[in-house]
Amino acid sequence: MKLLIAGGAGFIGSNFARHWVSRYPTDDVVVYDLLTYCSDRSNLAGVEDVVEFVEGDICDQDSVAKVLETYDIDVVVNFAAESHNSLAIKDPNRFFDTNVIGTQRLLEASRLAGVKRFHHVSTCEVYGDLDLNSPESFSEQSPYRPRTPYNASKAGADHAVRAYYETFGLGVTISNCCNNYGPYQFPEKLIPLFVTNALDGERLPIYKSSQNRREWLHVDDHCRAIESVIKKGKSGETYNVGSGFEASVDEVADFIIGLIGASNKLKKIVPDRPGHDRRYLLDSTKIARELGWTPQIDFSSGLANTIEWYRNNRSWWERGKGRLQVDELGWGSQTGPKSSS
């Protein structure tokens, strides 16, 4: 198989590149990435010598088309996206440009090149949010009700993928995944931000709605799920990917503080960001039943191993912290929307 990994120098994409190369060492793998602030070629440690790297923008259809033709690509896996909810509040344009227009350009280039399968990596957040006490979860049939610019841009991308299947017959699959964590996650996201701050004795910014919950999945389990969809998933189908394990922001902070041995006084309550979703929970019955995928890494051991990775890779995350785009401690003073939902 000849595989193009769009956004393959980012967090999940680089982990997927390592996963795929380890599983299918004779496949040809091309990583296509623009190398924005949160991606880095060093994220491809261990596989950079066995994958082909091409720097490029998914919004540039001609560039994508050239790569697809040059390497005779069979399968495109699209991780390329702006993904930080907080940054989307400050600069929503870049999210719609990359996530909607960029995905459409990638789809069009794939259609014209005769790509056999286009797998699009999406998020649980397209479904909106749930009440904290709701017995419900999101299935693949749940309506889309995005509440933030990031969520809406990912929802738009999902709709574009489906349109290319229905209108043009492009072979597509979509996976909507819950919150990931693991090595190489840029330190703007909650778990690496809390871990690296705690390691340095710095404050952990916890939004005022500290009981808002997320479903957490280790990135290695996510990579296994995507592999299952590519290998066994049915074209035109969507698969939810979740762990079933939920924890509030406050509970995650307590887990990290406990594992590191830091002071509970590091926790600092800060104003909620606008549009802060309460809770997401996916029903992952379909992928388990049809493809045989279930998560293998429990949160306690996965988090402990993740903390150890950040402890051992200080130079990597210190470089990343120098490129942070949002001050999570200062929502009240930043420009942008004033009201909170």
User: Which of 144-178 are b and which e, b meaning 16 or more Cβ less than 10 Å from the residue's Cβ?
Assistant: eebbbbbbbbbbbbbebbeebbeeeebbbbbbbbb
Q: Residue 304 is encoded by which pair of tokens? A: 């402990």
pLDDT recorded at residue 327: 87
Q: Note the pLDDT tens digit of each residue in 93-147.
A: 999 999 999 999 999 999 999 999 999 999 999 999 999 999 999 999 999 999 9
Residue 289 dihedral angles phi and psi, to the nearest 5°:
-70, -45
Q: In whole angstroms, give the CA distance from residue 190 to residue 65.
A: 36
Residue 205 dihedral angles phi and psi, to the nearest 5°:
-75, 110
How many angstroms separate the most distant Cα atoms in the chain? 57
Q: In whole angstroms, give the CA distance from residue 56 to residue 142.
A: 34
Q: In whole angstroms, give the CA distance from residue 229 to residue 237.
A: 9
Q: Residue 12 is encoded by which pair of tokens? A: 């999940």
pLDDT recorded at residue 251: 96
Q: Which domains does the chain have, with CATH numbers?
A: 2-181+217-244+279-297 (3.40.50.720)
Give the β-pairing of 213-218 and 246-248: antiparallel
Low-confidence spans in the chain with pLDDT less than 70: 330-341
pLDDT recorded at residue 328: 83
Contact predicate 219/186, CB 8 Å: no
**What is the chain's length?**
341
CA angle 165, 77, 285 (to 5 degrees): 75
Q: In whole angstroms, give the CA distance from residue 133 to residue 259.
A: 28
Q: In whole angstroms, give the CA distance from residue 175 to residue 178.
A: 10
pLDDT recorded at residue 340: 33
Q: In whole angstroms, give the CA distance from residue 12 to residue 260.
A: 24
- Three-state DSSP at 274 gives coil
Contact predicate 243/178, CB 8 Å: yes
Contact predicate 119/172, CB 8 Å: yes
Q: Residue 228 is encoded by which pair of tokens? A: 């299952």
Residue type, 338: K
Q: In whole angstroms, give the CA distance from residue 215 to residue 222.
A: 13
Q: In whole angstroms, give the CA distance from residue 34 to residue 291.
A: 32
Place of tokens 């926790």: 267
Q: In whole angstroms, give the CA distance from residue 134 to residue 218.
A: 24
Going across the sheet that includes 246-248, the strands are 179-181, 213-218, 246-248
- Three-state DSSP at 53 gives strand
Q: Residue 336 is encoded by which pair of tokens? A: 């942008």
Residue (of 236, 234, 230) closest to 165 by Cα position: 236
- Which residue stretches of 187-330 are H helix? 190-199, 219-232, 249-260, 285-291, 299-312, 314-321
